[in-house]
Amino acid sequence: MLLWYVAYGSNLHRDRFLCYLAGGRPAGAARTYTGCRDTRPPLADRPVLLPGGIYFALTSLVWGGGMAFYDPALDGETPARAYLLTAGQFSDVLAQEMRRETGADLDLAPAVTTGRQTLGPGRYETVLNVGELDGHPMLTFTAPHGAADAALNAPSAAYLAMLSGGLTETHGWPPERVSTYLMSCPGVLGTVRP
């Protein structure tokens, strides 16, 4: 089965995301990724916009500071990047996000059919179906709660730089637009909600 993994955080940056597939350490990150069982690059990738927004909460062990989470209930649009992967690659990417061993194929049918699937209580264990593109489901993962229930936490400069580069690379946004977008996200200024 093929599906689109929809990235809205640091995985907007293609070179950073390829570390999840092939293994390696992204520039500025404090972690080396094992990679997927299937290390091939995505079959395709496209810029997409999702309804809702992102917020920053918890603390990243890779970047320090808050991590990006998608909340479809927030106002606005979320610029994202869709990567066409196999279900096995998606399963391995999700396992790496949760600091688990790769190798177990997830049954993603509940997410595809109902729009939401909770795999566990972890920070990225809620899988959302955010649409369809070229006949394949578009899946992303996020926290089990939205921004209203989150302990907001400002992201690190290194993480914001990775997101900025990804937004420019994926959507062609100039620095001013990137800055305006990121500064409007809940948590980017600590606990201040715009």
Mind listing the domains of the chain with CATH numbers? 2-183 (3.10.490)
Q: What is the tens place of the pLDDT at every residue in 142-168?
A: 999 999 999 999 999 999 999 999 999
The pLDDT value given to residue 44: 98
Q: What is the tens place of the pLDDT at every residue in 67-122?
A: 999 999 999 999 999 999 999 999 999 999 988 999 999 999 999 999 999 998 88
Q: What is the tens place of the pLDDT at every residue in 14-73?
A: 999 999 999 999 887 888 999 999 999 999 999 999 999 999 999 998 889 999 999 999
Q: Using the Cα atoms of residue 9, residue 35, residue 128 and residue 57 in order, give the sign of their dihedral.
A: negative
The pLDDT value given to residue 192: 43
Q: What is the tens place of the pLDDT at every residue in 174-186?
A: 999 999 999 999 9
CB 84 within 8 A of CB 43: yes
Q: Report the C-alpha gap between 16 and 36 in whole angstroms.
A: 14
The pLDDT value given to residue 191: 52
> In which order are the strands placed within the sheet that holds 136-142?
45-51, 77-86, 2-7, 136-142, 126-133, 116-118
What pLDDT band is residue 190 in, cutting at 50, 70 and 90?
Answer: low
Q: Where do runs of H (alpha helix) occur along 23-101? A: 87-97
Q: Report the C-alpha gap between 114 and 112 in whole angstroms.
A: 6
The pLDDT value given to residue 106: 95
Q: What is the pTM of this model?
A: 0.94
Beta strands 53-57 and 67-71 are: antiparallel
Q: Report the C-alpha gap between 189 and 194 in whole angstroms.
A: 9
Looking at per-residue pLDDT, the higher value among 189 and 48 belongs to 48
